[in-house]
Structures are given as structure tokens and as C-alpha cells.
Amino acid sequence: MSRKFFVGGNWKMNGDKKSLGELIQTLNTAKLDANVEVVCGSPAIYLDFVRSKMDAKLGVAAQNCYKVAKGAFTGEISPAMIKDVGVNWVILGHSERRHVFGEENDELIGQKTAHALENGLSVIACIGEKLDEREAGITEKVVFAQTKVIADNVKDWSKVVLAYEPVWAIGTGKTASPAQAQEVHDKLRAWVKTNVSEAVANSVRIIYGGSVTGSTCKELASQKDVDGFLVGGASLKAEFVEIINANV
């Protein structure tokens, strides 16, 4: 089954109206591969601005959301709020939410995933092992456990993209080799086949994140089970266009 290549940009806590406006203009006018789905993750405060400026063919994502619709949860935003400004995607379970803030465990990420999907958002669900876990040989154990909690909360897999992001490769300049990325993606797809269904395993997009750049993207994109990227720092630069067009 042919899976549409997916490139997400995670802008993290970067940018202002001027710089993001310039980036949006670059994306709006660039010649982008029409066979690629592009979604940019904006800081929450700029979601409305970005969606209003970004070409309709490009998607916009929030970088996080909470597990309920409203209430006394200072600093959080809900799927309903995200939808209200015309945004249809959310990134959940990013390693920085899991590990930098130390507040998001697998169970909470599962609850957030369920609530986001129930309220009409599509989800980029992040999974990945830390360096000590890889060195201990428990990469599969970690990513399978994280994937299970997400899978338990998904009814419609067409609304979900799995993002494998080895934590040791995020923002470090280290990138999993194409072979390393392919190996984990292949095992993840096999896990989905066994634990969800063969149809979902064939259709779900599993994308790679972790210091993806213009110079590393083509070889990574050529791997059989790498269906795209979740790009951090490089998504704020002109080379993001090159990454989107990695298959051209």
C-alpha cells in the first residue's frame, strides 16, 4: 500500500511574527512536492496567526494539548481551542514534554491522544528511547510500551502519524543512521501488524525525527519503512524545503 510521505516541522519555542511570517512566505511560494503532506507545529500563541497566513494546502499543528475540553488548568490548551482557530493537528508525547518537563508519562499521553482524536484533531504521536535505554539494549521494549498506550487509545488510525524520535538524536547533531532508523521502523510496523492489524500496519505512516537536515534527509527517505520526518531546528530554515522534497 502506498503511504503518502509526511513531513512535519516542529518549531518548538522559536520565532516571532516577523521571522515566522518570512518562513511562511518561503513555504507558500516554494515549489513543494505535491505528493508530500506538510504540517508545521507552531507555538500556541501563534497558531491563529500561522493558520491565517499559511497556504491552505499546508497543515498546522499545535505542539501539545490537554486531555479535557476546559477547566482550571493554567497554561494548557484544549483540542476544542485548537480547532477553533482552524488548526487540525497536534503533536503529542514529544520527548521534551516527557523528559525536559518530566510531567508526561505514557498514560497521560494516551489520554491526550484519545481526547484529541475524539475532538477531531489528527495526532503526531511521538515515541523514542533515551541513550541509556539504547545502550542497555531495550530500545524495542521502550518504544513498544509507548506505542501500546497510544494504540490502546486510537479508533481511527487514518488520523494518526507515529513519529519515532530517538531522544539521543534530538537537537544533538547525532542522527540515527538510515539503517538504525529503518530497523526500528520495521520492528514498529511488525508490532502494529501483530497488535493492531495488518491493514493498519500497511497504512500507518511512521516518520523519523532526530536532527534531520538537508544533507541527511535523502538517504533516510529512501528507507522502506521511513514515511517522512518530524523536523526540529531545520524546519525554521530554508533547507526545510529541501527536506520536504527529499523524494524528488
* Catalytic residue annotation: 94, 165
* Distance separating the N- and C-terminal Cα atoms of the chain: 20
**In the chain, what is the greatest distance between 2 CA atoms, to the nearest angstrom?**
48
- Please, are residues 130 and 136 in contact by the beta-carbon 8 Å criterion? no
C-alpha distances out from residue 218 to 36, 172, 192, Å: 14, 20, 26
Q: Please state, in angstroms and rounded to a whole number, the distance separating the CA atoms of residues 173 and 123.
A: 26
Rg (CA), the chain: 17
Q: Please state, in angstroms and rounded to a whole number, the distance separating the CA atoms of residues 225 and 124.
A: 17
Q: Which three cell numbers stand for residue 230?
A: 518530524
Going by their DSSP bridges, the two strands 122-127 and 89-92 should be labelled as: parallel
Element (H, E) at 202: helix 198-203
Q: What is the DSSP string of 129-161?
A: --HHHHHTT-HHHHHHHHHHHHHTT-S-GGGEE
Q: Please state, in angstroms and rounded to a whole number, the distance separating the CA atoms of residues 160 and 90.
A: 10
